[in-house]
Amino acid sequence: MKVVKFGGSSLSCAEQLAKVFQIVVSDPERKAVVVSAPGKRDAEDTKVTDLLIECAASYLQGKEDNEAFEAIVGRYESIAKELQLPREVVEGIRASLLQLLNSDRSNPQKYMDAVKASGEDNNAKLIAAYFQFKGVEASYVNPKDAGLLVTDEPGNAQPLPETYESLYRLREHAGIVIFPGFFGFNEEGEIVTFSRSGSDITGSILASGMRADVYENFTDVDAVYSVNPNIIRQPKEIIEITYREMRELSYAGFSVFHDEALMPAFRAGIPVNVKNTNQPDKPGTMIVKERKLTNGPVIGIASDDGFSSIYVSKYLLNREIGFGRRLLNILEDFHLSFEHMPSGIDDISIILRQQQLSESVEEQIVQRIKEELHADDVKVQRDLALIMMVGEGMRETVGTAARASTALARAGVNIEMINQGSSEVSMMFGVKAGDERKAVQAMYEEFFAGVTV
């Protein structure tokens, strides 16, 4: 049994919905379908979710926003028309949305969440109607009725444990389940939305609750790439990757989707198949618990810039018990999370995301480190990029670090930092942001030229 999820771009227009229908009915295993709100039809288009936010914002300021309202309903209308669905479908959507917009606004956050969630909710209703219209047994299921209970954190809801047991019952549901993504209900029965890529989260939770054999995540790419396509033209596609590898790759700004969205599926050990709605016959990428190490030691290379390092040196630092801890204490006072902490004998460097480090925060921190820790020297280096090399094979293969650093040397890239030794599946290199592309290209050249991943 499969749980299938379609993103906004896969549901942007009638033509796409027709594809989705074909995909679902072509495989009787596809039992539950999680849908997003209609996405962009082209680059200039606006997502329904964004229109809803705009509309809700106006209503919260006490003014109606007919333009946005009509634009939203219009999107569903055009789809319904093209699919020749009965008028009632759109009438229902129009009525319920209007009612929602005019509902209690005493809690703006809750109000906003409810309006945003309607994008998916109404789309699910429309799609269910479409399936029925095509003579397939399918029905819209409301997350509340299904028992998708979540914590009361608007925009960052977490599923409650009992949710999974409740969702298991959906296996007994007659016909195909059409399920809206992006939100659940708190214990008071109020709508609460997930974080970004919320539909991925819903799909992942559903797959886990229903104990699906596979969670199919349909997007608009053929597969997860071994490297950022903006850096390498037509990079190798990854056929099979482990959860761990996926997680480490997702870290450094590299991902088709937010890896945390997949955690419920990962935790339940359910394979995730990333596929392309427009190329459903392609195998896509399979994200699994374990894989055989067929290809080279490295499966992917990710990179991200926007890091800074704070260098602290003090004579006999390594004798001073508690120095590192007191240093981290200071960062914590500014609510800074650090990424890495390479250290020499009389020095420690702290690598952290630059956006956390405003000029003024930087000043205060440097000040405090000098005064409280009596450091001999404190320097801040900005604009670093981290390059992450990932692969389950690395820890068994002698010489991976050598190949990588040799490739960087060949490309004339100076290595500012190497961090290896904790993670078994990744190795990290710090370079100047200006060298990021060059560095990634050199490593890709070294590990992927000729190798099929």
Say whether 219 counts as a known binding-site residue: yes
Say whether 133 counts as a known binding-site residue: no
Q: Name the packing angle between helices 323-333 and 359-373 (round to 10°).
A: 150
DSSP 270-330: --EEEEETTSTTS--EEEES-----S-S--EEEEEEEEEEEEEE-TTGGGSTTHHHHHHHH
User: What's the rounded Cα separation, in Å, for the pair 128 and 32?
Assistant: 11
**Residue 158 in contact with a second copy, rule: CB under 8 A:** no
**Residue 374 in contact with a second copy, rule: CB under 8 A:** no
User: What's the rounded Cα separation, in Å, for the pair 281 and 189?
Assistant: 40
User: What's the rounded Cα separation, in Å, for the pair 19 and 278?
Assistant: 7
- 203, 177 in Cβ contact below 8 A? no
3-state secondary structure 218-245: EECCCCEECECCCCCCCCCEECEEEHHH
Quick one: which segment of 51-59, 156-164, 234-242, 315-323 binds a second copy (CB under 8 A)? 315-323
Binding-site size for a second copy (CB under 8 A) equals 60
Least gap, CB of 290 to a second copy (angstroms): 17
Closest CA to 198 of 156, 249, 250, 151: 156
**Residue 405 in contact with a second copy, rule: CB under 8 A:** yes
**Residue 398 in contact with a second copy, rule: CB under 8 A:** yes
Least gap, CB of 314 to a second copy (angstroms): 12
Quick one: which segment of 60-68, 104-112, 201-209, 345-353 binds a second copy (CB under 8 A)? 345-353
Say whether 6 counts as a known binding-site residue: yes
Q: Which is nearer to a second copy, 220 or 260 (CB)?
A: 260
Say whether 21 counts as a known binding-site residue: no
Among 221, 239, 366, 415, binds a second copy (CB under 8 A): 415
Q: Where are the alpha helices (DSSP H) in 87-179?
A: 87-101, 108-133, 143-146, 162-168
Quick one: which segment of 14-22, 37-45, 195-203, 329-337 binds a second copy (CB under 8 A)? 329-337
294-313 residues near a second copy, rule: CB under 8 A: 309, 311
Closest CA to 137 of 214, 35, 1, 33: 33
Distance set, CA 27 to CA 174, 181, 191, 382 (Å) = 16, 21, 32, 52
Say whether 430 counts as a known binding-site residue: no
**Residue whose structure tokens are 């809803």:** 52
Least gap, CB of 419 to a second copy (angstroms): 6
Say whether 225 counts as a known binding-site residue: yes
User: What's the rounded Cα separation, in Å, for the pair 405 and 416?
Assistant: 11
Quick one: which segment of 16-24, 145-153, 317-325, 439-447 binds a second copy (CB under 8 A)? 317-325
Q: Which is nearer to a second copy, 186 or 426 (CB)?
A: 426
Question: What are the CB-based long-range contacts (under 8 Å, 24+) for 52-59?
Answer: 52/115, 52/116, 52/118, 52/119, 53/112, 53/115, 53/116, 55/101, 55/115, 56/101, 56/111, 56/112, 56/115, 56/116, 57/112, 59/101, 59/102, 59/105, 59/111, 59/115
Least gap, CB of 340 to a second copy (angstroms): 5
Does an H or E element contain 426, and which?
Answer: strand 426-432
**Residue 440 in contact with a second copy, rule: CB under 8 A:** no
Among 289, 412, 434, 451, binds a second copy (CB under 8 A): 412
User: What's the rounded Cα separation, in Å, for the pair 82 and 88?
Assistant: 15
| Contacts with a second copy, 246-275, as mask; x by CB under 8 A | -xx--x--------x--x------------
Sort 19 into a burial class: Cβ within 10 Å, 0-12 / 13-18 / 19+.
middle
Beta bridge partners of 135: none
Say whether 49 counts as a known binding-site residue: yes
Say whether 406 counts as a known binding-site residue: no
Among 10, 16, 123, 419, binds a second copy (CB under 8 A): 419
Least gap, CB of 294 to a second copy (angstroms): 21
Among 92, 155, 280, 324, binds a second copy (CB under 8 A): 324
Among 19, 258, 340, 370, binds a second copy (CB under 8 A): 340
Q: Which is nearer to a second copy, 18 or 415 (CB)?
A: 415
Provide the binding-site residues for a second copy, judged by CB under 8 A: 247-248, 251, 260, 263, 309, 311, 315-316, 318-322, 324-325, 328-329, 331-332, 335-349, 351, 398-399, 401-402, 405-406, 408-409, 412-423, 426-428, 430
**Where is the binding site for ATP, in residues?**
5-8, 219-220, 225
**Where is the binding site for substrate, in residues?**
49, 120
